[in-house]
Amino acid sequence: MNRLFLPLRFPPIIALVILSIFILAGCGEGDGKKISDTLPEKPLTGMAGDGNLEQIVEYIRIVAGLPALAAVLVHDGQIIEMAATGSRSINSNKAVTIEDKWHLGSLTKSMTSTLAAILVKQGVLSWSTTIADVYPELSGVMNVKYENIRLDQLLSHTSGMRANLPGTNSYQNSSLDIESQRQKMVEEALLLSTEVEPGVFLYSNLGYMVAGAMMERVTSTSWETLLENNLFTSLAMTSSGFGVPDVEDNLSQPVGHLSAGSGWKANNTDNPAVMGPAGIVHSSLEDIGNYIAAHLAGARGNDVAGLLTSAEFSKLHTATENSNYALGWAVTDSFLQHNGSNSKWLADIKIFPGENTALFIVTNAADLQKGQNSNSLKAVAKLTDELVKRADTAFTN
Protein backbone atom coordinates (compact mmCIF):
# COMPACT_ATOMS: atom_id res chain seq x y z
CA MET A 1 0.00 0.00 0.00
CA ASN A 2 1.12 3.54 -0.66
CA ARG A 3 1.32 5.66 2.44
CA LEU A 4 2.52 9.03 3.59
CA PHE A 5 3.74 9.41 7.10
CA LEU A 6 4.58 12.09 9.59
CA PRO A 7 6.22 12.09 13.01
CA LEU A 8 5.13 11.79 16.61
CA ARG A 9 7.00 10.61 19.66
CA PHE A 10 8.03 7.01 19.70
CA PRO A 11 10.36 5.20 22.13
CA PRO A 12 13.03 3.94 22.55
CA ILE A 13 15.56 6.46 21.28
CA ILE A 14 14.65 10.03 20.39
CA ALA A 15 11.19 10.45 19.09
CA LEU A 16 10.62 8.56 15.89
CA VAL A 17 7.14 7.77 14.76
CA ILE A 18 4.23 8.57 12.62
CA LEU A 19 1.14 10.72 12.71
CA SER A 20 -0.80 9.78 9.64
CA ILE A 21 -1.20 6.95 7.13
CA PHE A 22 -2.32 7.63 3.59
CA ILE A 23 -3.57 4.60 1.62
CA LEU A 24 -3.83 5.03 -2.15
CA ALA A 25 -3.59 1.63 -3.80
CA GLY A 26 -3.02 -2.07 -3.17
CA CYS A 27 0.33 -3.77 -3.67
CA GLY A 28 1.26 -7.25 -4.76
CA GLU A 29 1.41 -10.09 -2.29
CA GLY A 30 3.83 -12.96 -1.92
CA ASP A 31 7.24 -13.57 -0.44
CA GLY A 32 9.86 -10.97 -1.12
CA LYS A 33 13.55 -11.45 -1.61
CA LYS A 34 15.60 -11.56 1.59
CA ILE A 35 18.87 -9.93 2.54
CA SER A 36 21.35 -12.73 3.19
CA ASP A 37 24.51 -10.89 4.17
CA THR A 38 26.64 -12.38 6.93
CA LEU A 39 26.53 -10.22 10.05
CA PRO A 40 29.85 -8.42 10.51
CA GLU A 41 31.39 -7.49 13.84
CA LYS A 42 29.64 -4.50 15.40
CA PRO A 43 31.82 -1.41 14.84
CA LEU A 44 32.67 1.08 17.56
CA THR A 45 30.52 4.20 17.68
CA GLY A 46 33.53 6.48 17.35
CA MET A 47 33.15 10.19 16.64
CA ALA A 48 31.80 12.25 13.76
CA GLY A 49 34.35 12.72 11.02
CA ASP A 50 36.53 9.72 11.93
CA GLY A 51 35.86 7.97 8.63
CA ASN A 52 33.95 5.06 10.18
CA LEU A 53 30.36 6.08 9.47
CA GLU A 54 30.10 3.73 6.49
CA GLN A 55 30.93 0.73 8.69
CA ILE A 56 28.23 1.74 11.17
CA VAL A 57 25.61 2.29 8.46
CA GLU A 58 26.46 -1.07 6.89
CA TYR A 59 26.22 -2.92 10.20
CA ILE A 60 22.80 -1.43 11.01
CA ARG A 61 21.59 -2.07 7.46
CA ILE A 62 22.54 -5.76 7.60
CA VAL A 63 21.04 -6.27 11.07
CA ALA A 64 17.76 -4.73 9.86
CA GLY A 65 17.86 -6.63 6.56
CA LEU A 66 17.40 -3.49 4.43
CA PRO A 67 18.34 -3.16 0.76
CA ALA A 68 20.11 0.18 1.36
CA LEU A 69 20.64 2.74 4.12
CA ALA A 70 22.21 6.19 4.05
CA ALA A 71 22.88 9.13 6.35
CA VAL A 72 24.37 12.59 6.51
CA LEU A 73 25.45 14.58 9.59
CA VAL A 74 25.72 18.37 9.61
CA HIS A 75 27.40 20.49 12.28
CA ASP A 76 27.74 24.27 12.37
CA GLY A 77 26.64 24.65 8.77
CA GLN A 78 28.99 22.02 7.36
CA ILE A 79 28.45 18.46 6.15
CA ILE A 80 30.78 16.52 8.46
CA GLU A 81 30.13 13.02 7.17
CA MET A 82 27.83 11.02 4.94
CA ALA A 83 27.60 7.39 3.91
CA ALA A 84 25.43 5.07 1.84
CA THR A 85 25.58 1.28 1.79
CA GLY A 86 23.66 -1.58 0.22
CA SER A 87 22.06 -2.04 -3.19
CA ARG A 88 19.78 0.04 -5.35
CA SER A 89 17.43 -2.93 -5.65
CA ILE A 90 17.00 -6.18 -3.78
CA ASN A 91 17.11 -7.83 -7.21
CA SER A 92 20.50 -6.40 -8.12
CA ASN A 93 23.98 -6.11 -6.64
CA LYS A 94 24.33 -2.57 -8.04
CA ALA A 95 25.61 -0.64 -5.04
CA VAL A 96 24.26 2.70 -3.87
CA THR A 97 26.64 5.65 -3.72
CA ILE A 98 26.76 8.88 -1.75
CA GLU A 99 25.78 10.68 -4.96
CA ASP A 100 22.52 8.72 -5.29
CA LYS A 101 19.10 10.32 -4.88
CA TRP A 102 16.58 9.33 -2.19
CA HIS A 103 12.81 9.77 -1.94
CA LEU A 104 11.84 12.13 0.89
CA GLY A 105 8.10 11.52 1.27
CA SER A 106 6.57 13.97 3.73
CA LEU A 107 9.86 15.74 4.34
CA THR A 108 8.62 17.62 1.27
CA LYS A 109 6.13 19.40 3.54
CA SER A 110 8.84 21.46 5.23
CA MET A 111 10.06 22.46 1.75
CA THR A 112 6.56 23.56 0.73
CA SER A 113 6.32 25.62 3.92
CA THR A 114 9.78 27.09 3.29
CA LEU A 115 8.63 28.04 -0.22
CA ALA A 116 5.56 29.70 1.28
CA ALA A 117 7.81 31.75 3.58
CA ILE A 118 9.88 32.84 0.58
CA LEU A 119 6.74 33.94 -1.31
CA VAL A 120 5.53 35.80 1.78
CA LYS A 121 8.92 37.54 1.92
CA GLN A 122 8.51 38.48 -1.73
CA GLY A 123 5.07 39.94 -1.02
CA VAL A 124 3.32 37.49 -3.33
CA LEU A 125 1.28 36.05 -0.46
CA SER A 126 0.80 36.65 3.24
CA TRP A 127 0.35 34.10 5.99
CA SER A 128 -3.19 35.47 6.39
CA THR A 129 -4.09 35.00 2.70
CA THR A 130 -7.29 32.95 2.67
CA ILE A 131 -8.59 30.34 0.29
CA ALA A 132 -11.35 32.74 -0.78
CA ASP A 133 -8.75 35.45 -1.50
CA VAL A 134 -7.07 33.15 -4.02
CA TYR A 135 -10.23 31.47 -5.35
CA PRO A 136 -12.90 34.19 -5.26
CA GLU A 137 -14.85 32.42 -8.01
CA LEU A 138 -15.45 29.55 -5.57
CA SER A 139 -16.98 31.76 -2.87
CA GLY A 140 -20.53 30.62 -2.27
CA VAL A 141 -19.69 27.29 -3.87
CA MET A 142 -17.07 25.96 -1.47
CA ASN A 143 -17.88 24.71 2.02
CA VAL A 144 -18.35 27.95 3.93
CA LYS A 145 -15.91 26.80 6.62
CA TYR A 146 -13.06 26.96 4.12
CA GLU A 147 -13.59 30.50 2.86
CA ASN A 148 -11.55 32.16 5.60
CA ILE A 149 -8.96 29.42 6.10
CA ARG A 150 -5.51 31.00 5.99
CA LEU A 151 -2.33 29.80 4.31
CA ASP A 152 -0.63 29.21 7.65
CA GLN A 153 -3.57 27.09 8.83
CA LEU A 154 -3.21 24.83 5.81
CA LEU A 155 0.51 24.41 6.50
CA SER A 156 0.07 23.78 10.23
CA HIS A 157 -2.65 21.14 9.74
CA THR A 158 -5.28 23.28 11.47
CA SER A 159 -7.51 24.01 8.45
CA GLY A 160 -10.09 21.36 9.37
CA MET A 161 -9.45 19.56 6.08
CA ARG A 162 -9.54 15.80 6.06
CA ALA A 163 -6.30 13.87 5.81
CA ASN A 164 -6.66 12.95 2.15
CA LEU A 165 -8.72 13.58 -0.95
CA PRO A 166 -10.92 10.58 -1.79
CA GLY A 167 -9.94 9.14 -5.15
CA THR A 168 -6.52 10.77 -5.31
CA ASN A 169 -5.17 7.75 -7.15
CA SER A 170 -7.43 8.61 -10.10
CA TYR A 171 -4.98 11.42 -10.87
CA GLN A 172 -2.15 8.94 -11.47
CA ASN A 173 -2.68 8.79 -15.24
CA SER A 174 -4.38 12.15 -15.79
CA SER A 175 -3.97 13.75 -19.23
CA LEU A 176 -4.24 17.25 -17.71
CA ASP A 177 -1.16 19.38 -17.10
CA ILE A 178 -0.15 19.52 -13.44
CA GLU A 179 -1.56 22.98 -12.73
CA SER A 180 -4.94 21.95 -14.19
CA GLN A 181 -4.84 18.81 -12.08
CA ARG A 182 -4.31 20.89 -8.95
CA GLN A 183 -7.12 23.30 -9.90
CA LYS A 184 -9.45 20.32 -10.33
CA MET A 185 -8.25 18.90 -7.00
CA VAL A 186 -8.98 22.20 -5.23
CA GLU A 187 -12.49 22.35 -6.66
CA GLU A 188 -13.14 18.83 -5.37
CA ALA A 189 -11.50 19.42 -1.99
CA LEU A 190 -13.41 22.57 -1.16
CA LEU A 191 -16.76 20.81 -1.56
CA LEU A 192 -15.89 18.29 1.14
CA SER A 193 -17.03 18.52 4.73
CA THR A 194 -14.44 19.33 7.36
CA GLU A 195 -12.93 16.42 9.28
CA VAL A 196 -12.46 18.53 12.42
CA GLU A 197 -13.30 22.11 13.27
CA PRO A 198 -10.87 24.70 11.84
CA GLY A 199 -8.20 25.45 14.43
CA VAL A 200 -7.98 21.84 15.60
CA PHE A 201 -4.89 19.89 14.57
CA LEU A 202 -5.41 17.06 12.09
CA TYR A 203 -2.50 15.97 9.91
CA SER A 204 -3.61 16.64 6.35
CA ASN A 205 -1.89 15.86 3.07
CA LEU A 206 -4.85 17.54 1.41
CA GLY A 207 -4.17 20.82 3.21
CA TYR A 208 -0.67 20.91 1.76
CA MET A 209 -1.98 20.07 -1.69
CA VAL A 210 -4.38 23.03 -1.52
CA ALA A 211 -1.63 25.32 -0.19
CA GLY A 212 0.62 24.37 -3.10
CA ALA A 213 -2.20 25.04 -5.55
CA MET A 214 -2.71 28.48 -4.00
CA MET A 215 0.95 29.28 -4.62
CA GLU A 216 0.54 28.21 -8.22
CA ARG A 217 -2.56 30.35 -8.72
CA VAL A 218 -1.02 33.59 -7.42
CA THR A 219 2.25 33.14 -9.33
CA SER A 220 0.95 31.46 -12.52
CA THR A 221 3.82 29.02 -12.02
CA SER A 222 3.79 25.35 -11.06
CA TRP A 223 4.73 24.37 -7.52
CA GLU A 224 7.58 22.30 -8.98
CA THR A 225 9.08 25.28 -10.82
CA LEU A 226 8.58 27.53 -7.80
CA LEU A 227 10.47 25.07 -5.60
CA GLU A 228 13.29 24.70 -8.12
CA ASN A 229 13.70 28.45 -8.65
CA ASN A 230 13.31 29.60 -5.06
CA LEU A 231 14.68 26.78 -2.89
CA PHE A 232 16.76 24.33 -4.88
CA THR A 233 18.69 27.07 -6.67
CA SER A 234 19.23 29.13 -3.52
CA LEU A 235 20.69 26.15 -1.61
CA ALA A 236 22.63 24.58 -4.51
CA MET A 237 20.35 21.55 -4.43
CA THR A 238 21.36 20.53 -7.93
CA SER A 239 20.44 16.85 -7.58
CA SER A 240 16.89 17.28 -6.33
CA GLY A 241 13.69 16.62 -8.25
CA PHE A 242 10.24 15.07 -8.11
CA GLY A 243 8.85 11.56 -8.04
CA VAL A 244 10.88 8.35 -7.96
CA PRO A 245 14.65 8.90 -8.28
CA ASP A 246 15.01 6.06 -10.81
CA VAL A 247 12.82 7.79 -13.36
CA GLU A 248 14.22 5.73 -16.26
CA ASP A 249 13.52 2.50 -14.34
CA ASN A 250 16.99 1.17 -15.17
CA LEU A 251 18.63 1.17 -11.70
CA SER A 252 20.48 4.38 -12.43
CA GLN A 253 19.20 5.34 -8.96
CA PRO A 254 17.80 3.41 -5.96
CA VAL A 255 14.27 2.05 -6.09
CA GLY A 256 11.84 1.67 -3.21
CA HIS A 257 10.80 -1.61 -1.60
CA LEU A 258 7.62 -2.88 -0.02
CA SER A 259 7.55 -5.41 2.77
CA ALA A 260 6.60 -8.78 1.28
CA GLY A 261 6.44 -11.93 3.38
CA SER A 262 9.70 -12.15 5.31
CA GLY A 263 11.61 -10.03 2.82
CA TRP A 264 11.30 -7.15 0.37
CA LYS A 265 9.81 -6.55 -3.05
CA ALA A 266 11.17 -3.79 -5.30
CA ASN A 267 8.51 -1.28 -6.36
CA ASN A 268 9.46 1.78 -8.42
CA THR A 269 6.17 3.71 -8.17
CA ASP A 270 5.16 6.89 -6.37
CA ASN A 271 2.08 8.82 -5.35
CA PRO A 272 0.39 10.96 -8.06
CA ALA A 273 2.12 14.21 -9.01
CA VAL A 274 -0.93 16.18 -7.84
CA MET A 275 0.24 15.32 -4.31
CA GLY A 276 3.56 17.06 -4.92
CA PRO A 277 3.44 19.69 -2.14
CA ALA A 278 2.66 16.93 0.39
CA GLY A 279 5.40 14.49 -0.48
CA ILE A 280 7.15 13.64 -3.77
CA VAL A 281 10.58 15.34 -3.66
CA HIS A 282 13.80 13.34 -4.00
CA SER A 283 17.28 14.61 -3.13
CA SER A 284 20.90 13.55 -2.88
CA LEU A 285 22.63 13.37 0.51
CA GLU A 286 24.60 16.53 -0.23
CA ASP A 287 21.47 18.41 -1.27
CA ILE A 288 19.56 17.45 1.85
CA GLY A 289 22.66 18.30 3.88
CA ASN A 290 22.55 21.82 2.45
CA TYR A 291 18.85 22.03 3.23
CA ILE A 292 19.08 20.95 6.86
CA ALA A 293 22.13 23.19 7.35
CA ALA A 294 19.96 26.17 6.37
CA HIS A 295 17.17 25.21 8.76
CA LEU A 296 19.70 24.52 11.51
CA ALA A 297 21.09 28.03 11.07
CA GLY A 298 17.60 29.51 11.14
CA ALA A 299 16.67 27.51 14.24
CA ARG A 300 19.75 28.96 15.96
CA GLY A 301 18.56 32.50 15.29
CA ASN A 302 20.68 33.21 12.22
CA ASP A 303 19.74 34.67 8.86
CA VAL A 304 20.51 32.59 5.78
CA ALA A 305 21.62 34.87 2.97
CA GLY A 306 19.48 34.62 -0.14
CA LEU A 307 16.81 32.62 1.66
CA LEU A 308 15.16 33.75 4.91
CA THR A 309 15.85 35.81 8.02
CA SER A 310 15.91 34.34 11.51
CA ALA A 311 12.45 35.81 12.18
CA GLU A 312 11.10 34.17 9.03
CA PHE A 313 12.58 30.83 10.09
CA SER A 314 11.03 31.32 13.52
CA LYS A 315 7.57 31.41 11.93
CA LEU A 316 8.31 28.04 10.30
CA HIS A 317 9.71 26.49 13.48
CA THR A 318 7.21 27.71 16.10
CA ALA A 319 4.45 25.26 17.01
CA THR A 320 0.88 26.43 16.72
CA GLU A 321 -1.38 26.72 19.75
CA ASN A 322 -2.33 23.39 21.35
CA SER A 323 -0.07 21.47 18.97
CA ASN A 324 3.51 20.21 18.68
CA TYR A 325 3.51 21.00 14.97
CA ALA A 326 4.78 24.18 13.35
CA LEU A 327 4.86 24.69 9.55
CA GLY A 328 6.29 21.48 8.13
CA TRP A 329 8.05 20.51 11.36
CA ALA A 330 7.19 18.63 14.53
CA VAL A 331 8.58 20.53 17.52
CA THR A 332 9.95 19.23 20.81
CA ASP A 333 11.86 20.97 23.59
CA SER A 334 15.22 20.05 22.09
CA PHE A 335 14.80 19.40 18.37
CA LEU A 336 12.78 19.80 15.19
CA GLN A 337 11.81 16.60 13.40
CA HIS A 338 9.92 15.16 10.49
CA ASN A 339 9.82 11.85 8.69
CA GLY A 340 8.24 10.68 5.50
CA SER A 341 7.36 7.62 3.46
CA ASN A 342 5.41 6.70 0.34
CA SER A 343 5.33 3.15 1.80
CA LYS A 344 8.49 2.14 -0.10
CA TRP A 345 11.03 4.49 1.48
CA LEU A 346 11.58 5.92 4.96
CA ALA A 347 13.35 9.24 5.45
CA ASP A 348 13.91 11.22 8.65
CA ILE A 349 15.35 14.60 9.65
CA LYS A 350 16.24 15.75 13.14
CA ILE A 351 17.61 19.22 13.88
CA PHE A 352 19.19 19.94 17.28
CA PRO A 353 19.68 23.73 17.55
CA GLY A 354 21.29 23.53 21.01
CA GLU A 355 23.96 21.11 19.74
CA ASN A 356 24.32 22.93 16.38
CA THR A 357 23.79 19.56 14.69
CA ALA A 358 21.33 18.09 12.17
CA LEU A 359 20.83 14.55 10.86
CA PHE A 360 19.25 12.97 7.81
CA ILE A 361 18.69 9.21 7.52
CA VAL A 362 16.99 7.33 4.70
CA THR A 363 16.35 3.77 3.54
CA ASN A 364 14.84 2.55 0.28
CA ALA A 365 12.50 0.14 2.07
CA ALA A 366 9.56 0.50 4.45
CA ASP A 367 7.58 -1.95 6.57
CA LEU A 368 5.85 0.64 8.72
CA GLN A 369 2.66 -1.39 8.97
CA LYS A 370 4.56 -3.55 11.48
CA GLY A 371 4.64 -0.70 13.99
CA GLN A 372 7.30 -1.19 16.67
CA ASN A 373 8.42 -4.35 14.88
CA SER A 374 9.24 -2.38 11.73
CA ASN A 375 12.79 -3.11 10.59
CA SER A 376 13.06 0.20 8.77
CA LEU A 377 11.93 2.17 11.84
CA LYS A 378 14.33 0.26 14.07
CA ALA A 379 17.22 0.91 11.70
CA VAL A 380 16.50 4.65 11.57
CA ALA A 381 16.24 4.78 15.37
CA LYS A 382 19.52 2.88 15.87
CA LEU A 383 21.39 4.98 13.34
CA THR A 384 19.98 8.15 14.90
CA ASP A 385 21.35 7.04 18.25
CA GLU A 386 24.77 6.34 16.74
CA LEU A 387 24.92 9.69 14.94
CA VAL A 388 23.90 11.60 18.06
CA LYS A 389 26.62 9.87 20.08
CA ARG A 390 29.21 10.48 17.35
CA ALA A 391 28.28 14.16 17.24
CA ASP A 392 28.34 14.51 21.03
CA THR A 393 31.81 12.94 21.20
CA ALA A 394 33.17 15.14 18.43
CA PHE A 395 31.64 18.48 19.31
CA THR A 396 30.80 18.57 23.03
CA ASN A 397 33.54 20.06 25.19
Mean per-residue pLDDT, 338-354: 98
How confident is the model at residue 322, as a pLDDT? 85
DSSP E strands, the chain:
68-75, 78-86, 101-103, 241-242, 257-260, 263-266, 281-284, 330-331, 336-340, 346-352, 357-363
Predicted confidence at residue 40, as pLDDT, reads 82
SS (H, E, C) 347-391: EEEEEEHHHCEEEEEEECCECHHHHHHCHHHHHHHHHHHHHHHHH
Q: Classify domain 111-226 at the CATH topology level.
A: Beta-lactamase (3.40.710)
pLDDT surpasses 50 at 12: no
For residue range 80-91, list pLDDT tens digits in order: 999 999 999 999
CATH class of 53-103+243-319+327-395: alpha beta
Kindly report the backbone phi and psi dihedral angles of residue 381, in degrees, each rounded to the nearest multiple of 5, phi listed first: -65, -45
Q: How do residues 83-130 score in pLDDT, each as one tens digit?
A: 999 999 999 999 999 999 999 999 999 999 999 999 999 999 999 999
Residue pair 375/338 in contact (Cβ under 8 Å)? The answer is: no
Q: At what angle do helices 285-299 and 108-122 cross, to 10 degrees?
A: 60
State yes or no: pLDDT of 31 exceeds 90: no
**Range 177-203 average pLDDT:** 97
The pTM (predicted TM-score) of the whole model is 0.92
Q: Phi, psi at residue 57, to the nearest 5°?
A: -60, -45
Q: Report the range of poorest mean pLDDT among 21-35, 70-84, 179-193.
A: 21-35
- Expressed in angstroms, the distance from the first to the final Cα of the chain is 46
Helix axes 53-64, 375-395, angle to 10 degrees: 160
Residue extents of the structural domains in the chain: 53-103+243-319+327-395, 111-226
Q: What is the pLDDT of residue 397?
A: 73
pLDDT at 205: 98
Confidence class for position 37, pLDDT limits 50, 70, 90: low
Residues 75 and 47: beta-carbon distance below 8 Å: no
At residue 350, φ and ψ (nearest 5 deg) are: -135, 135
Per-residue pLDDT at 3 exceeds 60: no
Q: State residue 8's pLDDT score.
A: 33
